[in-house]
Amino acid sequence: MPSKTPEGEERGWIVPIGGAEDKEANPKVLKRFVELCGGADARIVVIPTASKLIETGTQYERLFPELGAGQVSVLDFDTRRDTKEQNRLDLIEDATGVFFTGGNQLRLSTLLGGTPVAKLVRTLNARGVHVGGTSAGASILSEHMIAFGREGFSPTAGSVRLAPGLGLTNRFIIDQHFRQRDRLGRLVAALAYNPFAVGIGLDEDTAAFIGPDDTLEVEGSGGVTIVDASELTFSSMDRAGEDDPVCLLGLRVHILVAGATFNLHTRQAAAGRLAITKT
């Protein structure tokens, strides 16, 4: 469950990214994350545990300073025992931002779930530290995480498998590489199991910057698909077999691009910066 925000403080931003973010030509998404974390005063901890590639952490260790970050540290966790080391926890405690790289979200959940690191990240986010992640690192941020599933437009009862995430919030479920990998069906299926949540489908090179007031603003070159099941009037999930299509009535869908917003509390979408008429 999300940690409680102390009285008089604001929760930090939550920044899930759809993966394959532009790192060289036009790195708008990562640059905004660096600025959010303090720019030259930023102290960002990169956690590349989702990836088995050695170069994943060093890539961001080079990139974030190029985008203006003052200090960047890479902390990988190969075993659950590593998550109890006090020197690593102290480094996270001092961070203004925490960033989870892509890879395999089940590797993240099995190595970090229920550990002092997971608890500390939740606590710090509730106290104002910003937490972002790309691809698998985006999926892990919420309480309910899509572990894996089948691609395709239509939801079936067996098209998605869910696992516990870090639990920074229970308001949404993330899916990434969304349009590129045709993942609408599995996100809708996840909402059929959890209709209280909002589904957020993130295209590549696209992020949802979610502020402490639960307003989501889109940044990047792609789109964000919002699936809202709060007005669901019927679901056949309770009687559907593993491969049966699921009937869902009353879903609301929004397609947002850079500058558009969605309030996770009121469930209201707005064109945001797009609505400003240029003269």
Chain centre distance of CA 118: 15
Alpha-carbon gap, residue 195 to 233, rounded angstroms: 11
First to last CA, the chain: 47
Q: Identity (one letter) of the amino acid at 176?
A: Q
Q: Please identify which of the residues 51, 109, 135, 235 carries the catalytic annotation.
A: 135
Rg (CA), the chain: 18
Q: Please identify which of the residues 21, 143, 177, 219 carries the catalytic annotation.
A: 177
Please, are residues 76 and 47 in contact by the beta-carbon 8 Å criterion?
yes
Told to judge if 7 belongs to the known catalytic residues of this protein, a careful annotator would answer no
Give me 261's structure tokens: 């917003």
Give me 21's structure tokens: 């973010």
Told to judge if 254 belongs to the known catalytic residues of this protein, a careful annotator would answer no
Q: Please identify which of the residues 143, 204, 217, 219 carries the catalytic annotation.
A: 204
Alpha-carbon gap, residue 133 to 101, rounded angstroms: 6
Strand duo 97-100 + 130-134: pairing: parallel
Strand duo 172-175 + 268-270: pairing: unpaired
Chain centre distance of CA 135: 8
Please, are residues 162 and 197 in contact by the beta-carbon 8 Å criterion?
no
For residue 85, give the 3-state DSSP assignment.
Answer: coil
Task: Please choose, from the candidates 175, 146, 147, 76, the residue with its C-alpha nearest in 3D space to the C-alpha of residue 117.
Answer: 76
Positions marked active-site: 135, 177, 204
